[in-house]
Amino acid sequence: MKKEDIDSPKNLALTREYAAKLEEYDQQQVAKAKIFDPKTLLERASKIHEVNHPTLGLLKFGELTLEDSEKIANQCKTDEEKTAMALFLMLKKAYPDMPDMTPKQFWKKFPMMEGGQLLNYFTTETGFLSPSTNSKSGSRSTRKRKR
Amino acid sequence: MSAPLLGRNARLYKTGIVIGHGKNISVKAAAELIKDYDMDSLTPAIVAPGKQTFKWTAEKFYLNGSWMTLILAGTEFSMVFQPAGTYKTAPYEEWIGCVVLSVERTAGEAGGIIEKIEGEATVVTVHDS
């Protein structure tokens, strides 16, 4: 390449243009990046969320906190009990008039149709109670060790 | 904005025209070792650099228009590092005959940006003065 070509006015203009495009891309990436903000998280966790669910109607719920996870871990033995307890606690925050129940009682009494919809919503939309998934290769997930 | 540094940002050229811009580029030149011994000798009779390799990696490239497709398909290009912004002030380096050997790209990304690029060059010319 000729030396003169390297810094020709056209090439200098193109260089500036392309460098600006890279800079613009970097700025977009920074803007897109999520920023961890514990203050916002604390505010969000104490709020009651309202969602217009297509079949359940106006659904209110509160988020589980670290304290709730301790309750779930200490009071529930099986996965079913843990799921029931998590659902119960999320609803109880938004509907404080709900009677106090054990996970087993809640599991036993809550209607299946709405319970299924709730579970489906919480596991797919909110990221809570994420169900265990099989591996990408299609093999079955390993079983839990018997206690 | 900070001034560009040698070995960090570079212009990409094809037939004398700037086709893109590279950011955070690292380069490495290496050579195979030629080493031979005389019969029964424990010390080498000769050590010399052998076949050379000029590797480079870049954090990001912006490539204009259809150059993205051509470069990813193996079209050769040159990279010019000019810390002073011009070839008139040394140092500057030309990496000639560059080809892309590996690239990562976020799905759905558009606008001529490719990331984490690796490749090699055939010739490196360093102008120090």
- Please answer yes or no on whether B17 and A10 come within 8 Å at the CB atom: yes
Span A17-63, pLDDT tens digits = 998 988 888 888 888 777 788 888 888 888 998 888 888 899 999 98
The domain spans of chain B are 10-127
The predicted pLDDT at position A123 comes to 79
* Residue reference for tokens 């998590």: A86
CB-closest option in A1, A14, A26 to B78: A1
The predicted pLDDT at position A26 comes to 85
pTM exceeds 0.80, yes or no: no
Q: Residue A127, by phi and psi: left (phi above 0), alpha (psi -120 to 50) or beta?
A: left
Q: What's chain B's average pLDDT?
A: 86
- A10: number of Cβ within 10 Å: 11
- Following DSSP, what letter does each residue of B21-60 receive, concatenated? EEEEEEEEEEEEEEEEE-TT-SSEEEEEEEEEEEEEEEEE
Higher per-residue pLDDT: B4 or B101: B101
- A24: number of Cβ within 10 Å: 13
The predicted pLDDT at position A3 comes to 73
The predicted pLDDT at position A143 comes to 65
pLDDT of A128 higher than 70: no
- Please answer yes or no on whether B62 and A7 come within 8 Å at the CB atom: no
Which architecture does CATH list for B10-127?
Beta Barrel (2.40)
Chain A interface, mutation test: which of B1, B14, B17, B62, most A Cβ atoms within 10 Å? B62
Higher per-residue pLDDT: B46 or A8: B46
The predicted pLDDT at position A53 comes to 86
CB-closest option in A2, A7, A22 to B62: A22
Span A83-119, pLDDT tens digits = 888 889 999 999 999 998 888 888 888 898 888 888 8
How many residues appear in chain B? 129
Higher per-residue pLDDT: B14 or B6: B14
* CA A127/CA A34 separation, integer angstroms: 17
Burial letters B43-72, b for 16+ CB under 10 A, else e: eeeeeeeeeeebebbbbbbbbbeebbeebe
Cβ-Cβ contacts under 8 Å, B20 against chain A: 18
* CA A79/CA A8 separation, integer angstroms: 70
* Beta bridge partner(s), residue B26: B57
- Please answer yes or no on whether A7 and B88 come within 8 Å at the CB atom: yes
